[in-house]
A and B are shown apart, each in its own frame.
Chain A
Amino acid sequence: MRQNAVDDYIKRLERSMRDVPASRRNEIVAEIREHLDETLAHLPPDATEADVRNAIESVGEPDDIASEARDRLGIRPIQARWTDTAAVILLPIGGVILPFFGWVIGLIFLWMSSVWTTKEKILGTLIVPGGLLPALYLTLMPTGFRTCTRYTVDGATVRECSGPNGTNVIMLILGIGLLVAPILIAVYLGRRLRTRTASVTR
């Protein structure tokens, strides 16, 4: 039960400090975990749950510790700009709204941003060239499922099939892949955006 309370607190602390660079965050969190363990170790064995909670509270509100960390370490919380959100939307579907150019605008917003790392920007650029446009082009090409019908002519069964053959199926799979990848990448970039621009309470 005690360990649960500590884990709970540490989880809240990590969430509050999510915009503090990982190396420093891990260091501070590890130290505070140690501090908590030691604080609880000093409690008498018959300490009530209320005692445990009071002891944990004396360590401080996670938000306060996080804002102290930002202050002391000179970390300015990153402000999300509207262009950041626009990039996440335009990269996958911009090219569909405004053929090709919508995607290019999304790309410019992506590279203008101070939220994402260069690696993430490259990922956003390479994985979704054109966004969903090529995917739609491939999947909307007349494909449909291959259907077969059987009928009997003069006692012999005849099987007749129509629809896409093997190569078309590969195109379909490729199309679905191209459809899913931009969405996944956009979701990933969106989540990074949300994490880095954590709401700051002061």
Chain B
Amino acid sequence: MHHMVAPAPPGSQDRLIAQMRRGTLEFCVLALLDDEERYGFDLVKALGDEDGMVTSEGTIYPLLTRLRRDGLVTSSWRESPSGPPRRYYQITPKGRRALDDFVAEWRRFRRAVDRFVEGGER
């Protein structure tokens, strides 16, 4: 009797990649805020400059709201040179700790995956 490997359902790989981006996005936001405080539009543009990180700009805002509720970022209003005041986001000590933990884990993960996928190519 043959054990057949069920073919991956169409689009499942796209979904996996979308999930990976989605899961790491919050740490990209934290990393961007680690350098300097930013307001929403600026943050979205910085993420959008990196190809494939953000598919639709508006989806960042629910994430920012959650990060704020979880105490990983705070926000404060600042006057803008043009137009109404802007809400600027800053990383908190808790956010920085979460970022550090993620970075350590991410490096370990990346090294392990690289070893396999690059080893296979040789």
Contact = CB atoms under 8 A, between A and B. Distances in A.
Q: Do A and B bind each other?
A: yes
Identify whether the interface residues of A are mostly helix, strand, loop, or mixed: helix
A60 B56 contact: yes
Interface stretch (A62-70, A127-135, A159-167): A62-70
A8 interface: no
B49 to A, nearest CB: 14
A59 interface: yes
B61 interface: yes
Contacts of A11: none
B65 interface: yes
Given A32-B61, A35-B61, A65 B56 contact: yes
A34 B56 contact: no
A158 interface: no
B86 interface: yes
A36 B62 CA distance: 15
B64 A31 contact: yes
A119 interface: no
A54 interface: no
A38 B87 CA distance: 13
Given A24-B65, A27-B65, A73-B65, A35 B44 contact: yes
Contacts of A41: 82-83
Interface residues of B, number: 20
Nearest to A29: B61
B65 A60 contact: no
B63 interface: yes
Contacts of B27: none
B41 A35 contact: yes
A201 interface: no
Given A60-B55, A60-B56, 18 more contacts: A13-B58, A28-B62, A31-B64, A32-B61, A34-B40, A34-B41, A35-B44, A37-B83, A41-B82, A59-B58, A64-B56, A65-B61, A68-B62, A68-B63, A72-B63, A72-B65, A73-B65, A73-B69
20 contacts: A28-B65, A31-B40, A31-B65, A31-B87, A32-B58, A32-B61, A34-B40, A34-B41, A35-B41, A35-B61, A37-B83, A38-B83, A59-B56, A59-B57, A60-B58, A65-B56, A65-B59, A65-B61, A69-B62, A72-B66
